[in-house]
């Protein structure tokens, strides 16, 4: 009986020590620059679809200096980021600072303010297609966000443009 208790205790000690060694995984270091925060704060909308937010984060954290095309002689770089539902064209200076972006995403999840504004103004219409556009400018430290929507009601179609706050343009 004492031998089985000893073996059982030994198994528990080994299991706990193995779990501790797995729990201490060190994550890689990430450097975040102030210009990244400006861009992410300007474009951030917690209600946007995950692929949109993921691609915007990729554009924000892209390091031009680590690119195979990097050369000190060039003053700027234009880099394109793609996913099946959208794309971002980002301009960087030679130091890697994000200067501006032009973004376009198709058929994304719409923010509640946009959905509510459309259903309130056009009650019998439904949104069949949408395009989300973002234009970020570092000088303004803001982003112009808009949605182009195709509304349908039976065989009738209508195009409208609306901003992220639900205001029709």
pTM: 0.75
Confidence class of residue 136 from pLDDT cuts 50, 70 and 90?
very high
* Burial of residue 73 (number of CB atoms within 10 Å: 0-12, 13-18, 19+): exposed
Write out the two tokens for 63.
């390091």
pLDDT in tens, 74-99: 788 899 999 999 999 999 988 888 99
Rg of the chain (C-alpha set): 25
Write out the two tokens for 126.
């439904």
What letter would DSSP give residue 168? B
Q: Does the pLDDT at position 31 exceed 60?
A: no
Sign of CA dihedral 46, 52, 55, 56: negative
User: Look-up: residue for tokens 């984060």?
Assistant: 57
What are the CA-CA distances from residue 119 to residues 111, 112, 116, 136, 154 (Å)?
13, 10, 5, 28, 16
pLDDT of amino acid 25: 58
For residues 130 and 108, the answer to whether their CB atoms sit within 8 Å is: yes
């Amino acid at each position: 009986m004492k031998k089985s208790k000893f073996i059982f205790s030994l198994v528990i000690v080994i299991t706990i020590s193995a779990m501790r060694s797995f729990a201490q995984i060190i994550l890689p270091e990430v450097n975040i620059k102030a210009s990244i925060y400006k861009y992410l704060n300007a474009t951030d909308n917690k209600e946007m679809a995950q692929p949109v937010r993921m691609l915007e984060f990729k554009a924000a954290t892209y390091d031009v200096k680590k690119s195979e095309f990097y050369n000190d002689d060039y003053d700027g770089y234009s880099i394109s980021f793609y996913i099946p539902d959208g794309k971002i064209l980002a301009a960087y200076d030679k130091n890697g600072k994000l200067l501006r972006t032009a973004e376009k995403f198709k058929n994304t999840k719409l923010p509640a303010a946009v959905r509510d504004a459309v259903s309130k103004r056009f009650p019998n219409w439904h949104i069949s297609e949408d395009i989300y556009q973002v234009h970020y400018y570092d000088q303004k430290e803001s982003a112009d966000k808009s949605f182009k929507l195709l509304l349908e009601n039976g065989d009738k179609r209508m195009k409208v443009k609306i901003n992220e706050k639900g205001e029709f343009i």
